[in-house]
């Protein structure tokens, strides 16, 4: 299994999805060796983790962030980390009797191809996002597109995290639809830490006790996530419901731009930027919210709304997200439809009955979700391709 990050060293949902999938695969008796590009002390009882360099995560991230395609310049400038990773994987693949190479997203695809060439093992390319998703609908970095195209073409099977992603893969790279299977991400609620009684956002609690309602977004501040769209909507929401606070948790290349935009819109006093958070500050951001909003332009899956409801907070999400294919008890809107976003945020915030019903129904809904179903679907793909080999 080839990945670029695992929690706690993750900059987004990719690492979490890899970790949870592996854990459930292991429970279904899949023997996994996971290759990471950075050094980690982290070991666990369900899989073996290899590190290809002695570099730690922070340093690696400085060189090559999984989401930072714009700074990935050319194939000639492939970083030594990536070359190390490729060579390690290719030689490792020949050492043992593996059945499958399972590679997550473009950063691992060169290594996966090398390993496949060296061993002729079946390759499963698991797509959590493609370049056009990460660049907010633009085509993105052509170098990365080349890697994605080659990797997806060489793969024996492509797994996409949503129907929407499956269709983008087919559209962007001419991969036949029947080569792509959809395995949705999921959520195991007992894997998530619980809220405690003291919310860390004390000031926001004070505002809430003064009648404020809180709308939260947790995610990277990049064009893909459409926080600009949310701020334009926020302006109209605040016009109708002045006691509304928008809590924006995350970091990214749009950070400064978003702060200026809030000021230009005259709603700086209604928007709080809390930066990138983990652990309790991350959990409490969900916990303190009345409504979680994920307005993404393109979200191949997008697990945060499910995490939000685990902390008791219902969501408004864009139809342009994979999670909208499986999550029913939430509000949905097209990411470009600002007026409808406003309509739904306002409609939700001033209707306790709606909030209560949605919270109950959505909580019931996530109770039945489990990564086990995703693991079993993945194993089904493994077994198909192992047979071909035999």
Residues 54-93: x where in contact with other proteins by CB under 8 A, - otherwise, as a string: ----------------------------------------
Of 38, 88, 41, 42, nearest in space to 63 by CA: 38
At closest approach, how far in Å is the CB of 224 from other proteins?
Answer: 25
At closest approach, how far in Å is the CB of 262 from other proteins?
Answer: 21
At closest approach, how far in Å is the CB of 63 from other proteins?
Answer: 45
At closest approach, how far in Å is the CB of 353 from other proteins?
Answer: 3
Specify the residue, 99 or 337, whose C-beta has the smaller distance to other proteins. Answer: 337
- Provide the pairing of β-strand 32-36 with 271-275: unpaired
Backbone angles phi, psi at 299, to 5 degrees: -135, 100
Q: Count residues near other proteins (CB under 8 A).
A: 27
Q: Quick one: which H or E segment has residue 14?
A: helix 13-27
Residue 72's contacts (CB-CB under 8 Å, 6 or more residues apart) are 64, 141, 143, 144
Of 100, 150, 81, 155, nearest in space to 125 by CA: 155
Residue 113's alpha-carbon distances to 10, 37, 121, in angstroms, are 24, 16, 10
Residues 211-250: x where in contact with other proteins by CB under 8 A, - otherwise, as a string: -----------------------------x----------
In degrees, to the nearest 5, what angle opens at C-alpha 115 toward C-alphas 111 and 116?
115
Binders of other proteins among residues 357 to 386 (CB under 8 A) are: 357-358, 360-361, 364-365, 368
At closest approach, how far in Å is the CB of 233 from other proteins?
Answer: 11
Give the integer Cα–Cα distance in Å for 62 and 168: 29
Specify the residue, 275 or 347, whose C-beta has the smaller distance to other proteins. Answer: 347
Give the integer Cα–Cα distance in Å for 305 and 286: 9
Q: For residue 210, what are its two tokens? A: 């003064």
CB 230 within 8 A of CB 333: no
At closest approach, how far in Å is the CB of 354 from other proteins?
Answer: 4
Specify the residue, 343 or 370, whose C-beta has the smaller distance to other proteins. Answer: 343
Look-up of token digits 């139809």: 319
> Which parts of 161-288 are beta strand (E)?
180-182, 213-218, 244-249, 271-275
Binders of other proteins among residues 322 to 361 (CB under 8 A) are: 328-332, 339-340, 342-344, 346-348, 350-354, 356-358, 360-361
At closest approach, how far in Å is the CB of 298 from other proteins?
Answer: 21
At closest approach, how far in Å is the CB of 315 from other proteins?
Answer: 11
Specify the residue, 351 or 383, whose C-beta has the smaller distance to other proteins. Answer: 351
Specify the residue, 260 or 357, whose C-beta has the smaller distance to other proteins. Answer: 357
At closest approach, how far in Å is the CB of 103 from other proteins?
Answer: 34
DSSP 316: E
Specify the residue, 128 or 344, whose C-beta has the smaller distance to other proteins. Answer: 344
Binders of other proteins among residues 156 to 175 (CB under 8 A) are: none
Residue 295 CA to chain centroid, in angstroms? Answer: 14
Of 194, 201, 250, nearest in space to 221 by CA: 250
Specify the residue, 54 or 353, whose C-beta has the smaller distance to other proteins. Answer: 353
Give the integer Cα–Cα distance in Å for 304 and 311: 11
Specify the residue, 111 or 341, whose C-beta has the smaller distance to other proteins. Answer: 341
In degrees, to the nearest 5, what angle opens at C-alpha 157 toward C-alphas 156 and 162?
160
Residues 272-311: x where in contact with other proteins by CB under 8 A, - otherwise, as a string: ----------------------------------------
Give the integer Cα–Cα distance in Å for 333 and 344: 8
Specify the residue, 7 or 347, whose C-beta has the smaller distance to other proteins. Answer: 347
Q: Where on the chain is the footprint of other proteins (CB under 8 A)?
A: 240, 328-332, 339-340, 342-344, 346-348, 350-354, 356-358, 360-361, 364-365, 368
């Amino acid at each position: 299994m080839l990945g670029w990050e695992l929690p706690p060293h993750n900059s987004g949902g990719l690492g979490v999805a890899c970790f949870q999938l592996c854990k459930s695969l292991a429970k279904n008796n899949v023997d996994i060796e996971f290759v990471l590009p950075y050094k980690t002390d982290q070991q666990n009882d369900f899989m073996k983790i290899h590190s290809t360099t002695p570099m730690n995560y922070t340093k690696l991230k400085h060189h090559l962030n999984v989401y930072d395609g714009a700074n990935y310049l050319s194939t000639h400038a492939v970083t030594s980390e990536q070359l190390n990773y490729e060579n390690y994987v290719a030689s490792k693949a020949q050492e043992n009797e593996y059945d499958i190479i399972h590679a997550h997203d473009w950063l691992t695809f060169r290594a996966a191809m090398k390993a496949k060439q060296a061993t002729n093992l079946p390759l499963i390319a698991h797509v959590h996002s493609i370049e056009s998703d990460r660049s907010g609908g633009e085509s993105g970095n052509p170098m990365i597109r080349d890697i994605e195209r080659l990797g997806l073409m060489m793969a024996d099977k492509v797994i996409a995290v949503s129907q929407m992603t499956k269709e983008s893969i087919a559209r962007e790279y001419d991969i036949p639809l029947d080569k792509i299977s959809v395995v949705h991400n999921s959520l195991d609620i007992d894997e998530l830490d619980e809220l405690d009684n003291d919310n860390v956002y004390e000031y926001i609690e004070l505002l809430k006790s003064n009648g404020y309602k809180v709308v939260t977004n947790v995610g990277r501040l990049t064009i893909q996530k459409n926080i600009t769209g949310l701020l334009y909507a926020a302006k109209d929401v605040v016009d109708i419901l002045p006691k509304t606070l928008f809590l924006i948790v995350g970091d990214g290349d749009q950070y400064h731009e978003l702060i200026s935009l809030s000021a230009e819109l005259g709603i700086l006093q209604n928007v709080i930027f809390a930066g990138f958070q983990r652990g309790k500050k991350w959990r409490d951001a969900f916990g303190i919210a009345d409504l979680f909003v994920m307005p993404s332009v393109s979200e191949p899956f997008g697990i945060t709304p499910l995490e939000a409801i685990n902390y008791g907070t219902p969501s408004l999400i864009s139809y342009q997200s994979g999670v909208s294919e499986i999550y029913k008890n939430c509000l949905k809107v097209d990411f470009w439809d600002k007026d409808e976003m406003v309509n739904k945020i306002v409609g939700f915030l001033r209707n306790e009955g709606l909030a209560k019903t949605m919270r109950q129904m959505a909580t019931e809904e996530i109770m039945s979700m489990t990564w086990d179903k995703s693991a079993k679907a993945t194993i089904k793909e493994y077994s198909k391709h192992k047979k071909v080999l035999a």
